[in-house]
């Protein structure tokens, strides 16, 4: 999604803006630009392509010299990626950058055209720039406030008025925006990593609040233009955690961070060998009466929910629905007062997940958010909240966020099972103790499976399509394995419940379709073996991810390649079994010459529908 930055201070603004934008590259983008007050005018430089293209253009035409400006990386929504559609966009006296979607931009554009305004681009953003210019009354705050009242949709805006060369303005509705403060300088940014090299102190801008940034500091007003006092926050993510730290890509760095991410996430939530979630408002008394659970999320986070379904149903005997947020929100779902709806999200800003949570609340449900990004919208609006403490996840392909989402879901499942009295305290302690061993188990898999995965990845490089199969938890996990592979390698893949293959999909199998079979659940291993044999006898080459225990039960020669992982408590196997699937996806992407950190067409945080 688009990235916004802005700067007011003593430094070379162009340099700060480009550097800050480089820390937002992970969000995904197709063009970039900056605007700086320079020689009494607003100078804009923008281009289709990557930041490198912008830097090349700046070095040819010269960077605008000045100390106040805004910058942007664009992920195209309205209008193709092109120089002219890139941000910043301007009216005669106003220049803006925008993240989000203006839903009523066509009506607004028609109105402005009827007033004689002309447009250069296809974007909804230019409509806002022109509307601000059209509405300008000499008072920027009043103008912004009046225009906000006209806008429908989601937006975060960085705004410069030609008449106020010492300041920038920022406003948001739905789309995230933060305001950073340093010594004699202020920043705006879509996300914390953009400002970490300059300051760790920041404010979260709330809906319909307007910030004015000058060298002297920042002031805030609400939608009635009443002054606001806001709480200054300090980022506990340091620069190092947002850098590659010697790894070639964030994706492999983050895969390697998983043991620590699990440890950091679970340890503070365990007391006397039992889950302890009281601090998050989750007590036995509070949750014992929930008779059903709905988990709503998108993508990888939804896949964590799929594992959650198997685990919660198995342990707590409570039915669990897992819903894709974009479906849930438009489906008039059956959610009643007193139901529990869990929203899982790394960014805490995914537009569909946020809307789904609001809908669940409206229907009277109690909401529990499992979120990674501190202070994000989902985190702030949920009734109960457990943070995954994965640290910043920069790679678009989610890895450590998924594994920490699983970790939190396990802890919650244990607590719910205790509350429902479907497991004893002793059994719960046994499970918690097994969970506490997972950081070492994941480390073992990273240390011992990377070479196998690297080798198998060389065999996948020419594949056009792949199937992932498994049963039970292995099926839930396969969904994530399949998504990981397709998003970074661009090889088509599907995950299938192994027993369902023969009802249609097996017709796809031939020698050109590799099958990745996940088999970690001993009780159903004979069934999975039968399914593997079925596809093997139709020519598929088999890559088998299994535990040492399962490997022993497998007949000689069933698989072409085996990636063996250690046996842990079987309920917890997804935590270790996902790791080879992540590494396999990573090396397949590398072998195909793709940048795994910035897969085409994808954005890290999907803040628009």
DSSP conformation letters of 329-361:
TTS-----TT-EEEEEESSS--HHHHHHHHHHH
Q: Does 254 bind ligand M6R (CB under 6 A)?
A: no
User: Using the rule CB under 6 A, is 588 a contact of ligand M6R?
Assistant: no
- Binding segment for ligand M6R (CB under 6 A), chosen from 163-171, 314-322, 359-367, 390-398, is 390-398
**For ligand M6R, which residue has the nearest CB?**
299
Angle, helix 258-266 to helix 400-419, in steps of 10 degrees: 30
Residues 340-359 that bind ligand M6R (CB under 6 A): 345-347, 350, 353
Among 261, 298, 476, 544, binds ligand M6R (CB under 6 A): 298
User: Is position 2 annotated as part of the catalytic site?
Assistant: yes
- Compute the residue count for the chain: 609
- State the CB neighbour count (10 A cutoff) for residue 119: 14
Strand-pair partners of 564: 546
Q: Which residues contact 499 (CB under 8 A, 6 or more apart)?
A: 471, 527, 531
Part of the chain binding ligand M6R (CB under 6 A), chosen from 202-210, 298-306, 331-339, 455-463 = 298-306
546 included as an active-site residue: no
Question: Minimum CB separation from ligand M6R for residue 446, in Å?
Answer: 18
Based on the shown chain and the rule CB under 6 A, indicate whether residue 398 belongs to the binding site for ligand M6R: yes
Distance of CA 56 to the CA centre of its chain: 30
Q: Which of 43, 57, 536, 604 is catalytic?
A: 604
- Which residue in the set 242, 606, 607, 608 belongs to the binding site for ligand M6R (CB under 6 A)? 606
CA angle 282, 369, 77 (to 5 degrees): 175
Nearest to ligand M6R of 121, 482 (CB atom)? 482
Where do the H-state alpha helices sit in 211-348? 250-256, 258-266, 284-287, 299-316, 325-328
Which DSSP category does 372 fall into?
Answer: S
Distance CA 515, CA 535 (A): 8
Min. distance of Cβ 522 from ligand M6R in angstroms? 29
Among 171, 312, 396, 476, binds ligand M6R (CB under 6 A): 396
Least distance CB 606 / ligand M6R (angstroms): 5
Q: Is 265 in the site for ligand M6R (CB under 6 A)?
A: no
Asked whether the beta carbons of 472 and 310 are under 8 A apart, the reply is yes
The residue count for binding ligand M6R (CB under 6 A) is 15
Report, in Å, the least distance between residue 396 CB and ligand M6R.
5
- Contact yes or no for 602/28 (Cβ under 8 A): yes
Query: Pick the catalytic residue: 2, 298, 428, 449?
Result: 2
582 binds ligand M6R (CB under 6 A): no
> Which residues 6+ apart lie within 8 Å of 422 measured at CB?
315, 316, 317
End-to-end CA distance of the chain: 11
CB 169 within 8 A of CB 159: yes
- Cβ proximity to ligand M6R, 48 vs 484, nearer residue: 484
As measured in angstroms, the least distance from the Cβ of 272 to ligand M6R is 32
HEC letters along 582-595 = HHHHHHHHHHCCCC
Instruction: Show contacts with ligand M6R in window 176-215 (CB under 6 A).
Output: none
CB of 417 to ligand M6R, least distance (A): 25
Which residues lie below 8 Å from residue 593, measured CB to CB, with a gap of 6+? none
Task: For 546-578, give one letter per residue: b (16+ CB within 10 A) or e.
Answer: bbeebbeebeeebbebbbbbbbbebbbbbbbbb
Using CB under 6 A, pick the residue from 121, 130, 190, 300 that binds ligand M6R. Answer: 300
To which residue do tokens 């209008």 refer? 79
Residue 128 C-alpha from the chain's centroid: 27
**Interface residue with ligand M6R, options 94, 301, 413, 419 (CB under 6 A):** 301
By CB under 6 A, tell whether 376 contacts ligand M6R: no
Closest to ligand M6R by CB, 371 vs 419, is 371
If binding is defined by CB under 6 A, does position 99 make contact with ligand M6R? no
Whole-angstrom Cα distance, residue 338 to residue 342? 13
What's the min distance (Å) between Cβ of 251 and ligand M6R? 9
Between CA 326 and CA 345 the distance in angstroms is: 13
Indicate the residue among 487 and 570 with the shorter CB distance to ligand M6R: 487
Q: Which is nearer to ligand M6R, 175 or 547 (CB)?
A: 175
> Is residue 299 a contact point for ligand M6R (CB under 6 A)?
yes
Strands 366-371 and 340-345: parallel
388 in contact with ligand M6R (CB under 6 A): no
Question: Burial of 332 by CB count in 10 Å (0-12 exposed, 13-18 middle, 19+ buried)?
Answer: exposed
Count of CB atoms situated within 10 Å of the CB of 220: 18
Task: Count CB atoms within 10 A of the CB of residue 266.
Answer: 22
Q: Which two tokens stand for residue 442?
A: 């994941």
Minimum distance, C-beta of residue 585 to ligand M6R, in the bound complex (Å): 9
Task: Give whichever of 6 and 392 is closer to ligand M6R, judged by the CB atom.
Answer: 392
- For residue 507, the minimal CB distance to ligand M6R (Å) is 29
Query: Which one of 209, 487, 564, 597 is in contact with ligand M6R (CB under 6 A)?
Result: 487
Backbone dihedral angles phi then psi of residue 387, each to the nearest 5 degrees: -80, 140
Q: In this chain, which stretch among 14-22, 23-31, 295-303, 578-586 interacts with ligand M6R, using CB under 6 A?
A: 295-303
* Per CB under 6 A, 377 contacts ligand M6R: no
- Among 110-118, 242-250, 261-269, 339-347, which window interacts with ligand M6R (CB under 6 A)? 339-347
Candidates 64-72, 237-245, 396-404, 440-448: pick the segment binding ligand M6R (CB under 6 A).
396-404
Q: Shortest Cβ distance from residue 601 to ligand M6R (Å)? A: 12
| Residue 308 lies near ligand M6R (rule: CB under 6 A) | no
Residues that bind ligand M6R (CB under 6 A): 298-301, 345-347, 350, 353, 396-398, 487, 605-606
Known catalytic residues are 2, 604
């Amino acid at each position: 999604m688009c990235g916004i930055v802005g700067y007011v201070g003593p430094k070379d603004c162009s340099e700060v803006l480009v550097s800050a934008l480089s820390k937002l590259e992970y969000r995904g983008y197709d063009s970039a630009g900056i605007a700086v007050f320079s020689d009494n005018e607003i100078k804009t430089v923008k281009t289709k392509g990557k930041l490198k293209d912008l830097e090349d253009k700046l070095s040819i035409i010269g960077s605008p010299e000045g100390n106040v400006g805004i910058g942007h990386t664009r992920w195209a929504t309205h209008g193709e990626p092109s120089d002219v559609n890139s941000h910043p966009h301007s009216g005669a006296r106003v220049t803006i950058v925008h993240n989000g979607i203006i839903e009523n931009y066509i009506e607004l554009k028609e109105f402005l055209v009827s007033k004689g305004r002309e447009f250069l681009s296809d974007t909804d953003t230019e409509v806002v720039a022109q509307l601000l210019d059209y509405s300008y009354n000499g008072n920027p705050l009043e103008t912004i406030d009046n225009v906000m009242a006209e806008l429908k949709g989601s937006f975060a805006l960085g705004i410069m008025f030609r008449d106020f060369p010492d300041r920038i303005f920022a406003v948001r509705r739905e789309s995230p925006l933060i305001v950073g403060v340093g010594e004699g300088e202020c920043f705006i940014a879509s996300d914390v990593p953009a400002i970490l090299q300059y300051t760790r102190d920041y404010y979260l801008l709330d809906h319909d609040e307007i910030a004015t940034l000058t060298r002297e500091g920042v002031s805030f007003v609400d939608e009635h233009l009443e002054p606001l006092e806001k709480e200054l926050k300090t980022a506990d993510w340091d620069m190092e955690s947002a850098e590659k730290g010697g790894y070639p890509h964030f994706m492999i760095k983050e895969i390697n961070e998983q043991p620590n991410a699990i440890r950091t996430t679970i340890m503070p939530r365990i007391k006397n060998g039992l889950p302890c979630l009281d601090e998050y408002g989750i007590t036995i008394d509070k949750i014992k009466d929930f008779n059903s659970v709905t988990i709503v999320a998108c993508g990888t986070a939804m896949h964590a929910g799929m594992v959650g379904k198997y685990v919660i149903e198995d342990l707590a005997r409570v039915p669990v629905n897992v819903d894709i947020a974009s479906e849930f929100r438009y489906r008039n779902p059956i959610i009643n007062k007193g139901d529990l709806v869990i929203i899982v999200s790394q960014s805490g800003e995914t537009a569909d997940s946020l809307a789904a949570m609001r809908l669940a609340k409206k229907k009277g449900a109690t909401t529990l958010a499992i979120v990674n990004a501190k202070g994000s919208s989902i985190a702030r609006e949920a009734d109960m909240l457990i943070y995954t403490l994965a640290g910043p996840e920069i790679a678009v392909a989610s890895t450590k966020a998924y594994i920490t989402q699983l970790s939190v879901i396990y802890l919650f499942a244990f607590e719910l099972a205790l509350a429902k009295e479907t497991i004893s305290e002793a059994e719960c302690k046994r499970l918690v103790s097994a969970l506490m061993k997972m950081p070492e188990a994941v480390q073992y898999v990273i240390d011992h499976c990377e070479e196998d995965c690297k080798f198998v990845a060389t065999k996948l490089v020419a594949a056009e399509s792949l199937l992932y199969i498994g049963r039970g938890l292995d099926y839930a996990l396969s969904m994530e394995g399949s998504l990981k592979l397709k998003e970074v390698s661009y090889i088509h893949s599907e995950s299938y419940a192994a027993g369902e293959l023969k009802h249609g999909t097996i017709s796809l199998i031939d020698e050109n379709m590799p099958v990745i079979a996940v088999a970690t659940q001993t009780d159903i291993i004979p069934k999975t073996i039968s399914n593997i044999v079925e596809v093997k006898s139709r020519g598929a080459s088999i890559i088998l991810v299994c535990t040492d225990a399962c490997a022993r039960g497998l007949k000689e020669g069933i698989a072409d390649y085996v990636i063996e992982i250690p046996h842990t408590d079987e309920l917890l196997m997804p935590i270790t079994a996902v790791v080879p699937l992540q590494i396999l996806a990573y090396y397949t992407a590398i072998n195909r010459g793709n940048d795994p950190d910035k897969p085409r067409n994808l954005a890290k945080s999907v803040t628009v529908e």
